[in-house]
Structure 1
């Protein structure tokens, strides 16, 4: 059985292209999610896909970076699949699979390249933030919590949990606003 996995990083992105490619590849079942790919932690649909596949199945992704962005995560996933007797195939990077030694080599090389690209992107981002800070243009993320409103609700006798529910924020954010 071919089992597909698709992922995009944000809720504003569409999974349509991946779903179409996985269907065209003959996937009988497809798991999709809108989650960051920086880590495999909290990627519920990925965990479900790995749990779902059985010996003789093949897990299919459209691109390698949809599965993992670090070599460590990639190797852990492939190790888990291999121990279950499950093959892996990537549609966009032909030859990236686990059914040949060349495919496994390509998998490792492309995984390392993806991790390198991610590191470069983060480095450029940090450099841009530092430059903006030096120029006095970087102020960080705009506040999403109004500390005055939190304090006002507290003065009116509302407890931290009730304030958090009222403002739809975390209780820890309430405590930080009250301490400020």
Structure 2
């Protein structure tokens, strides 16, 4: 029993060490890639066309976020991001244009 526990403890310690070392190498690789301008992360789905579509549908047709998401075939979260970050809308029970 004690031998089995000793072996499992050693195997767990080795696995933890290997995992930490792998994470460290990954961080170093990402850092080197960023320095070289190669690590850009995930591409954004927000472009000028989507921004203008969302603006048109919200301001001219006064559609809801769900309706805009269905029409543009994007997620509701993406539409909220466009409205808040690009078009300066703020949540106030419903999204309202911030005139500041």
Aligned to 1:173: 78
> 1:45-84 counterparts in 2 under 5 A?
none
Name the CA distance, whole Å, in 2 between partners of 1:132 and 1:106: 39
TM-score under structure 1 length normalisation: 0.36
CA contact (8 A) 1:160 1:175 kept: yes
Q: Secondary structure of the equivalent of 1:176?
A: helix
Which of 146, 151, 162 is residue 67 of structure 2 equivalent to? 162
Query: Please, which runs of 5 or more residues in structure 2 have no aligned partner?
Result: 87-100
Please identify which structure carries the higher helix content: 2
Name the CA distance, whole Å, in 2 between partners of 1:152 and 1:133: 33
> Cα distance, 1:104 vs. partner?
2.3
Name the CA distance, whole Å, in 1 between partners of 2:2 and 2:51: 60
Determine which structure has more spread, i.e. the larger CA radius of gyration. Answer: 2
Question: What is the aligned residue count?
Answer: 79
Q: Alpha carbons of 1:142 and 1:107: their partners in 2 closer, same or farther (altered >3 Å)?
A: same
Q: Alpha carbons of 1:107 and 1:155: their partners in 2 closer, same or farther (altered >3 Å)?
A: farther
Once superposed, what is the RMSD of the aligned Cα atoms?
Answer: 2.5
Aligned to 2:46: 146
TM-score under structure 2 length normalisation: 0.57
Runs of 4+ in 1 over 6 A off after TM superposition: none
